[in-house]
Amino acid sequence: MTSFQAIIMGIIQGLTEFLPVSSSGHLAIIRSLSGADMEGGVLFEVLLHVATLVAVCAVYHKDVLRLVVDFFSICADCCVNIGRFFKNISAINKQEYKVINSTTGRKLVLMLIVSTVPTGLMGILLDDVVEAVSSNLLVIGLCLLGTGGILFISDLIDKGSKKQKEANFGDAMLTGMAQGFAVLPGLSRSGTTITACLLCGFDRRFAVKYSFLMSIPAILGALVLELFKLPDSGGLSAPAGACVVAMILAAVFGFFALKVVNALAVNKRFKPFWIYCFALGAISIIVFLIKL
């Protein structure tokens, strides 16, 4: 990969990781039309994932800090409860167990964990399917059309009222399943999860926030999987300087993309994105048919 391609990859990663337009669909079409190898090495992809993770943490830094604190307090209370369980087996005066789901902050942590479980399971189950169709422009085109349809639906959904306090674990399970389906190339993760949240009755601002907070464990999971591949990766696939620039651009563009999606989703203004996805999906299918 050349320095120019690495920088373009950084920009595409930052924008399409969070804008509801599908990064996989874009990269597949670019490779097909230009003949350029836009796939990064494993280490380069790890660095870009780190950059986009930084963008999420920067936009939602207060929420992320609160989640980290609540997560470790939950872990501490779980350890206390385990200890009390074994003590209560033989104790005369039983000790009460600590309530894990005692605050809305802790509830949000548990909801994110519940959402991550079906996402991870579906990612594992669909792994072979995703690998088989990752460069199939017909499948990617159809998925992009699906993304367009999902975004179109999101603009039609009436304003929901559920916020952090009212959301429940059933909502978390459903949104996690939606995120799991979004591993298919051409399906936008952010578009799919935001729409799923809206269908669950979430307030639009909370729907966007929950969608992107869900992306943190998803990105971390992808990061861990790629780290396992590092021993066989052969190092960086682009010059080190270009990789640094690509990371910075991915973080900066990702930061602004998050801001844009937040503003547009709240105001029911996904129309430019669903029109774009319909057009890109049609182009992808046409290119596939031309190449037959």
pLDDT digits (tens, 9 = 90+) for 104-131: 899 999 999 999 999 988 888 888 888 7
**Tell me, what's the pLDDT at 133?**
81
**Tell me, what's the pLDDT at 235?**
55
Whose structure tokens read 């005066």?
93
d(CA 122, CA 134): 16
d(CA 222, CA 225): 5
d(CA 80, CA 284): 55
**Tell me, what's the pLDDT at 39?**
55
d(CA 249, CA 242): 10
**Tell me, what's the pLDDT at 77?**
93
| Sign of the alpha-carbon torsion through 39, 44, 47, 51 | negative
**Tell me, what's the pLDDT at 231?**
61
d(CA 195, CA 215): 14
> How far from the centroid of its chain's Cα atoms is residue 251's Cα?
15
d(CA 30, CA 37): 9
Q: Which residues of 131-143 are buried (b: 16+ CB within 10 A; e: fewer)?
A: eebbebbebbbbb
Local structure of 96: helix, strand or coil: coil
- The DSSP annotation for 101-117 comes to T-SHHHHHHHHHHHHHH
| Segments of the chain scoring below 70 in pLDDT | 1, 28, 31-43, 226, 229-238
d(CA 130, CA 150): 20
- DSSP-assigned letter for residue 187: S
d(CA 165, CA 286): 47
**Tell me, what's the pLDDT at 48?**
79
